[in-house]
Amino acid sequence: MTTATQAETMGFQTEVKQLLQLMIHSLYSNREIFLRELISNAADACDKLRYEALDNDALYGNDSELRVEIEHDAEAGTVTVRDNGIGMSRDEVIQNLGTIARSGTAEFLQQLSGEKQKDAKLIGQFGVGFYSGFIVSDEITVRTRRVDQEQGVEWHSRGEGEFDIADIDKPERGTEIVLHLKEDAKEFADAERLKHLVRTYSDHIEVPVRMPKVEKAHDEEGNEIEGSETVTWETVNEATALWVRPKEEISDDEYKAFYKHVAHDFSDPLTWSHNKVEGTLEYTSLLYVPGRAPFDLNQREGVRGLKLYAQRVFIMDDAEQFLPLYLRFMKGVVDSKDLSLNISRELLQKDPQVDKLKSALTKRSLDMLKKLAKDEESYQTFWNAFGNVLKEGPAEDFANRDKVAELLRFSSTHTDSATQDQSLAGYVSRMKEGQQKIYYLVADGFNAASHSPHLEIFRKKGIEVLLLHDRIDEWLMSHLTEYDSKSLVDVAKGDLDLDEMADEEEKKAQEETAKAKAPLLERVKTALGDEVQEVRITHRLTDSPACVVLSEHDMGYQMRRLMEAAGQPLPEVKPILELNPEHGLVTRLESADDSRFDDLARILLDQAIIAEGGHLEDPATYVQRLNKLLSS
């Protein structure tokens, strides 16, 4: 029971009513965070008492169990948040509640030193969280008594530029805040709604958050006995943050259960990493690698990010600032008191600390994947789900390009399987003696890649080629040009240089053949005109009559189709036609008369484009030429 003296009306010390209105209506984008802010302030008050009681245990009196209590009255339309923390004196009420953006917590932190400051689980930074109550209420009453004083204080305001303050009798220490809800905010005067907000935003506050629980007795027939209601207090938050507990005290089942909570996933994670870092930047992280991909994984603008906490208080559900986009599949929690939040604590300020933390968490994530890769079966599960996303890494993260490259997996002629399970390190370990390059081929699908005529010379010489058949692969390789000091070479572009793998006799034979076939090459070039950039003798083919090759820096057919599908105009690219002088069709071309030579030359070009995965501009004419040739 409290009694009040005559109230004194005072004006807010910060200039004018407009500033308060701006804060109330514009500072926060989400109304429901008002409860988070009030619980955070209450938890601060409990922590402040705990620290002062280190030197004076008598401050606890007969009530040493620190707690936060929440009550509601649907009929009256009120929500009450109460704590038995340190409380406030009259002067502190005027300073902290009568002055916007003055933080009692910040001032208190400045007074601490050494280990006390390091361990303080204090949340408030700006002293504006209290005013978030005006988002949902048109009137707030605060009753408080500081632990070392006998007189209590009542503060009351409608958030319109002034407040009333009066002395009251208040037997219990601590602070009680009563929100008189607006008509459009009466939804918050509901027990289940309040429990949901506590568990969403303040589940891991160390101080227990309690709510009344009404129980009724029943007769033998199961009917409620009128007047039998009893009220007990139920703790609705976990009151212990799993990520701040010592790792050795946490079981695998607890880690898995927590993952399912933060990731909203029903399956177990593949692996996790729990770390506490101290030094210039102090933070705790608990990162998980999921076992399956969400439906929106490939939407780069979709929901992603870690859960951000500041001293156990939930700040942001999808904090995307801490990991690059190519690691958007990672789930987990990061908790730090060293980050600069904006004044409403809903967004992160642009801060070098954020960049440092992003760098550290990126490295941690890549190390987790490297460790996971030692278990081939688990890593294959990861790769099948997230491989395409990880392939974005070399382009986005130059600093970690080599680390990402180690984690990439591809199909290869080593296994001739569509399964992407071959690493670049494995390729290098199998390289032929004298081989200095890593060879790869990009195609629309595995079958198109594995049957490409460009592989013929490599199969003959026993040289492995990586088979890249994902849509992102050509873009990936434009940014991943080297691994382990060895260049990566597209076998379908530029001059094929296998000199290090060829003997002198083979080189001499190739030169003589090119010289002998010079008239044929000139004749074919004349017949094809501007359709090709060049015609030359091939060193790539053993079984096919011809193939088309792009210049080293030209965009490949796969990438061109993707760009065209996106409506991107592209310059015309003329291929290079390479002929296999040992093939029967080329021999027949050489002896063909003028009337058939042009048709046969164009058929060889069109077939080579089709084999490469390209599309003919005039397929009907190609069919007519082919039918004419077959029927003659």
Which is higher by pLDDT, 357 or 224?
Answer: 357
CA distances from 250 to 253, 255, 270, 331 (A): 8, 7, 17, 18
Q: What mean pLDDT comes out for the span 323-337? A: 93
pLDDT tens sequence across 481-529:
999 999 999 999 888 776 555 667 777 887 888 889 899 999 999 999 9
Backbone angles phi, psi at 263, to 5 degrees: -100, -5
Using the predicted structure, report yes or no on whether residue 279 has a pLDDT greater than 70: yes
Q: What is the dihedral of CA 159, 164, 170, 173, to 10 degrees?
A: 50
CA distances from 322 to 284, 285, 339, 368 (A): 13, 11, 11, 16
pLDDT band for 222, please (50, 70, 90 cuts). Answer: confident
pTM: 0.77
Residue 615: count other Cβ atoms within 10 Å of its Cβ.
Answer: 11
Contact at 8 Å (CB) between 81 and 68?
Answer: yes
β-strand partners of 437 = 487
Which is higher by pLDDT, 560 or 582?
Answer: 582
599-602: list long-range contacts, CB under 8 Å, 24+ apart: 599/625, 599/628, 599/629, 600/629, 601/524, 601/527, 601/528, 602/527, 602/528, 602/531
pLDDT band for 257, please (50, 70, 90 cuts). Answer: confident
pLDDT tens sequence across 132-186:
888 899 999 999 999 999 999 999 998 877 889 999 999 999 999 999 999 999 9
**Which ranges constitute the DSSP H helices of 416-572?**
424-429, 446-450, 456-461, 473-477, 504-516, 518-528, 557-565
**Which ranges constitute the DSSP H helices of 27-88?**
33-53
Q: What is the pLDDT of residue 514?
A: 84
Q: What is the pLDDT of residue 67?
A: 95
pLDDT band for 316, please (50, 70, 90 cuts). Answer: confident
Task: With both helix axes pointing from N to C terminus, report the angle between 191-201 and 33-53 in degrees, rounded to the nearest 10.
Answer: 60
Token couple for 589: 């071309």
- The alpha carbon dihedral of 124, 126, 130, 134 has a sign of negative
Token couple for 573: 């690219």
Those residues with Cβ within 8 angstroms of residue 25's Cβ, 6 or more apart along the chain or in another chain: 135
Specify the DSSP element, H or E, that contains 232: strand 230-235
- Nearest by Cα to 408 from 436, 432, 440, 437: 440
Using the predicted structure, report yes or no on whether residue 459 has a pLDDT greater than 90: yes
Domains (ranges, CATH) in the chain?
8-217+225-235 (3.30.565.10), 242-385 (3.30.230.80), 409-500 (3.40.50.11260), 506-553+562-631 (1.20.120.790)
Within its chain, how far is the Cα of 589 from the centroid?
A: 57
Within its chain, how far is the Cα of 3 from the centroid?
A: 54
Token couple for 103: 């933080």
At residue 475, what is the residue type?
W
Mean pLDDT check: name the lowest of 97-101, 262-266, 448-452.
97-101
Residue indicated by tokens 């939407």:
299
Q: What mean pLDDT comes out for the span 224-244? A: 84
Mean pLDDT check: name the lowest of 41-55, 352-366, 384-398, 429-443.
41-55
Using the predicted structure, report yes or no on whether residue 206 has a pLDDT greater than 60: yes
Using the predicted structure, report yes or no on whether residue 190 has a pLDDT greater than 80: yes
Mean pLDDT of the chain: 86
Q: For the chain, what is the largest distance between any 2 Cα atoms, rounded to a whole number of angstroms?
A: 117
pLDDT tens sequence across 283-303:
999 999 999 988 777 777 666
Burial grade of 478 (CB within 10 A; 0-12, 13-18, 19 or more): middle
